[in-house]
Amino acid sequence: MGSSRSKLAGQVAATAVGTCVLWWLIYWLITWLALPQVATDFYGGIPRDKVRALQNRAGVKVVTGGDWVHLGWVADPEVEKYHVLEWIDGDWRLLVRSRFGSALITGLTKRDDHRFRVVAVAARDSAWRDAAVALGLGAPTLQPRLLAEVKVRTGAAPPPFQRPRVAGKWRYLFRPEKTGDYINDHALFRDRAGAWRALGITGPGAGDYSRELWFAHGSTDSLDDGEMVETERVADYGEAAWAPHVIRTSGGRYHLYWSPHRAAHAVSYDGVVWQGREDAIRVPYNRFFRDPMVLEVAPGQWLMYATARGRYFSMVDVYQSFDLENWQYIRSAWRAAWGSERNAIVSSAESPFVIAKDGNYYLSITYNNESGIFAPIGLALGVWMGGAESYNDTLVFASTNPYDFGDYEGRESTSNLVAELEAHAPEYIHDESSGRWYLTTCGWPLAATLTRGELAIAPLSWERR
């Protein structure tokens, strides 16, 4: 009897191991063969031969907060790496080593001024240098070079984090009839004349991403009681057009960005007519790049947040620009880790949106796409595998700075998770003329439950935690 039980246990264990091995083989087959093989590069939208000129022109830019400072510059990661030093007690001390054009320094003590230097050094370390010499290839000749020395004064500590909350009923706002059958990920903004406009993913049917080739476009005079009137489609270039985002600069020009697999860019002088389509990021750092969102963090400094994925876990990547034309990867802003509930092959951190409010920052992600191999297969067949709970699941994380929202280890283990909202790909809108806040939701008819393909809007409140 004991022998039979041992034999049965061995067979069960062997079957379990075989099943796991097969699962992983299928998983990696889908990941590396079935999904688009998109080129990746940290230079983003900057030609290599233009890096040094842009680096010299930009210098080192500074953004500060209560106890933190961020130093940003244009990097040349194939040629050089960077050391950030601080003047402390009469000497320059090394604080940060960076491959990219970014150094986030936190936990600064409050004093009048901090002095920093950013120095470029040869990218190869001593082992590579010795190997190059041994092989007769010569040693790198780049000498240490000072990019800039800056003085920084930290500010007052920010107030406690707040919690966003849906503060009323969802109200119908827009659904196209001529250019598509639904609205998914979208942008909501005010044009030069003061009208509210929406650009959104659309297509025929109940949700087929392969047929989403332009944006539906609607407008209304009021977010409180108006419904949008459909107008001409936008970004109709015969290619995939996903997740638009619009910003307006202090000079009055509008910039539209969208994806997937690169950041397309167009401009407008009135927020109505768009022109000059180009690739702001031709080759992203992550091949799962999509859903770009842009935030101005200081005059002449912008961050672009985008969906990404590491080897096993979902992420949100950050790109940096000093002119809205040249973008370069600098870091990850949010990282799923062990304990996180969903990590799809194509990333579960969708539609990133960052809000600056009262000295703090809030990162919203729509946390859907189930882990494993069945969700992408179901999606290709027009079936949403995760259920309504995952499709309308938005998480909001708080941070004192816009560069790092930490690691996500699950809902019960992540202290800066400040809200869970029932919404899909929401936009957070602050009407400066009235002071009111609004939240939107949308989605494919095949999966959404809050809507049936329309863009909907609700009042949003901010509460103390």
Question: What number does CATH give the domain 162-464?
Answer: 2.115.10.20
Per-residue pLDDT of the chain (465 residues; tens, 9 = 90+): 566 667 666 676 777 777 777 766 776 666 666 566 778 999 999 999 999 999 999 999 999 998 999 999 999 999 999 999 999 989 999 999 999 999 999 988 776 789 999 999 988 654 445 555 555 545 555 689 999 999 998 878 889 999 999 999 999 999 999 999 999 999 999 999 999 999 999 999 999 999 999 999 999 999 999 899 999 999 999 999 999 999 999 999 999 999 999 999 999 999 999 999 999 999 999 989 999 999 999 999 999 999 999 888 999 999 999 999 999 999 999 999 999 999 988 899 999 999 999 999 999 999 998 887 777 777 777 778 777 778 999 999 999 999 999 999 999 999 999 999 999 999 999 999 999 999 999 999 999 889 989 999 999 999 998
**Is CATH 2.60.40.10 what the domain over 48-152 is classified as, yes or no?**
yes
Query: Residue 126: its pLDDT value, please?
Result: 46
pLDDT in tens, 85-96: 999 989 999 999
Query: Residue 182: its pLDDT value, please?
Result: 98
Query: Residue 9: its pLDDT value, please?
Result: 66
Query: Residue 449: its pLDDT value, please?
Result: 86
Query: Residue 461: its pLDDT value, please?
Result: 98
Show me where the domains of the chain are located.
48-152, 162-464
Query: Residue 30: its pLDDT value, please?
Result: 65
pLDDT in tens, 21-65: 776 677 666 666 656 677 899 999 999 999 999 999 999 999 999
SS (H, E, C) the chain: CHHHHHHHHHHHHHHHHHHHHHHHHHHHHHHHHHCCCCCCCCCECCCHHHHHHHHHHHCCEEEECCCCEEEECCCCCCCEEEEEEEEECCEEEEEEEECCCEEEECCCCCCCCEEEEEEEEECCCHHHHHHHHHCCCCCCCCCCEEEEEEEECCCCCCCCCEEEEECCCCEEEECCCCCCCCCCCEEEEECCCCCEEEEEECCCCCCCHHHCCCEEEEEECCCCCCCCEECCCECCCCCCCEEEEEEECCCCCEEEEEECCCEEEEEECCCCCCEEEEEEECECCCCCCEEEEEEEEECCEEEEEEEEECCCCEEEEEEEECCCCCCEEEEEEEEECCCCCCCECCCCEEEEEEEEECCEEEEEEEECCCCECHHHHHHHCCCCCCCHHHHCEEEEEEECCCCCCCEECCCCCCCCEEEEEECCCCCEEECCCCCCEEEEECCCCCCCCCCCCCEEEEEEEEEEC
pTM (predicted TM-score): 0.91
pLDDT in tens, 72-114: 999 999 999 999 999 998 999 999 999 999 999 998 877 678 9
